[in-house]
Amino acid sequence: MTATSGSRLGRPQGPITNTLTTGQLPRLVELYVLVGSLVVVGGILLLMGFNWGGWIFLSIVLYLVSLGVLSTIAENRRKATDRVVRSLVIVAFLLAIAPLVSTLVTVTAKGIGQLNWAFISTTGGAVFNPDTLAVTISTGALQAIVGTLEITGIAALMSVPIGILTAIYLVEYAQSGQWMARTVTFLVDVMTGIPSIVAGLFAFSLFTLVVGPKAFSGFSASVALSVLMIPIVVRSCEEMLRLVPHDLREASFALGVSRFSTITKIVLPTAIAGIITGVMIAIARVIGETAPIFMAASFTDNFNANPFNGPMQTLPVLAYTGYKFPGQDIAASNASAWGAALLLVLIVVILNIIARIVAKTFAPKGAR
């Protein structure tokens, strides 16, 4: 068809342009616009009264509006929408990690000066000198470290088998719509929303009825933490088991393998990495709990490694009491609190690293 016939049909003459590729802003335009927004808003606020929160909020608003307008003019509406939405996602991510980064920086800055071998290997408390009749306050976290590891370890020993076996029942054995499965799922959902202090009250009341009044012990605190751990382990392990392809189960059944052997040799090894991750999430969730441990195990300055007799000290309770109820030396108590908080963070990091190594070691190796 000729150009003349094409014009008679009402088609536009000349080269056809693609609106999806026309116009392109510079590669670092987002950075330029962000810096410009920060400078403009900062200059205006310096004249009106500077405020950090207002500076960040108004800069983000100006950045998004300016980027959208520039992209609409120079490119097209589709690209402008893409740039604005992508910028919103980045801003939301930065706002989400800002409290975490701020907390880590604060705990590290205030606790690193207290973190030394003497603080880790000694027991803190008041020391009386009979010769000079002087009472000195020594800072130490050995009793808190031992108490934290023992209480959390016992809670994990009780919670992890129960949680994994419950998840196996819900995924591998329970029939769809069965009353038992619905009941277990409902109870797990209810336990997920239980406040931590309610778990502490439950453990304290239980051991008060069984043992007697003031039945403070590390095992009581472990029971309280296990109430919080079990639903997390169940939910995470259940999701990991559901991700295992059904083809693996069907292939195993087709070879005549029993259901028990299929679960132990096929399903669990396939999902082991996710299961370990879920267990570590549950441990990290409860290792820093203060209220249930404070109620069930109380606290003490004396070294007590027996979880079945007497109060025990833990790192979160040491951090709380050292900052909220300082002793005669307020500076030493506050330093001890920050050191305990940093130790708690380091323990969680170490446990997660160990879990990553274990999960990578036991995870099934894919075909190369």
Q: What is the pLDDT of residues 245-269, one digit of tens each?
A: 999 999 999 998 899 999 999 999 8
Q: In this predicted structure, what is the pLDDT of residue 1?
A: 46
Intervals of the chain under pLDDT 70? 1-22, 125-138, 327, 364-368
Q: In this predicted structure, what is the pLDDT of residue 368?
A: 41
Instruction: Give Cβ neighbours of residue 166 (< 8 Å, ≥ 6 apart).
Output: 184, 188, 230, 234
Dihedral angle over CA of 64, 67, 72, 78, nearest 10: -70
- Burial-class residue 133 by CB neighbours within 10 Å (0-12, 13-18, 19+): exposed
Q: What is the pLDDT of residues 99-128, one digit of tens each?
A: 889 988 999 998 888 888 888 888 876 554
Nearest Cα residue to 263 out of 181, 178, 170: 170
317-349 burial code (b ≥16 CB/10 A, e <16): bbbbbbbeebbeeeebbbbbbbbbbbbbbebee
Q: In this predicted structure, what is the pLDDT of residue 367?
A: 44
d(C-alpha 199, C-alpha 125), whole Å: 29
Write down the residue that tokens 């070691």 correspond to: 361
239: region left, alpha or beta (phi > 0 left; psi from -120 to 50 alpha): alpha
d(C-alpha 142, C-alpha 153), whole Å: 16
Dmax over CA atoms of the chain, in Å, equals 116
Q: In this predicted structure, what is the pLDDT of residue 365?
A: 66
DSSP strand pairing (123-129 vs 134-141)? antiparallel
Q: In this predicted structure, what is the pLDDT of residue 288?
A: 87
Q: In this predicted structure, what is the pLDDT of residue 5?
A: 46
Instruction: Give Cβ neighbours of residue 267 (< 8 Å, ≥ 6 apart).
Output: 172, 241, 244, 248, 249
Sketch the domain layout of the chain as residue ranges: 23-111, 121-362
Write down the residue that tokens 């410009």 correspond to: 36
Domain 121-362 has CATH 1.10.3720.10: yes
Judged by DSSP in three states, 202 sits in helix
pTM: 0.78
Alpha helices, H only, 75-112 = 77-111
d(C-alpha 240, C-alpha 259), whole Å: 18
Q: In this predicted structure, what is the pLDDT of residue 366?
A: 57
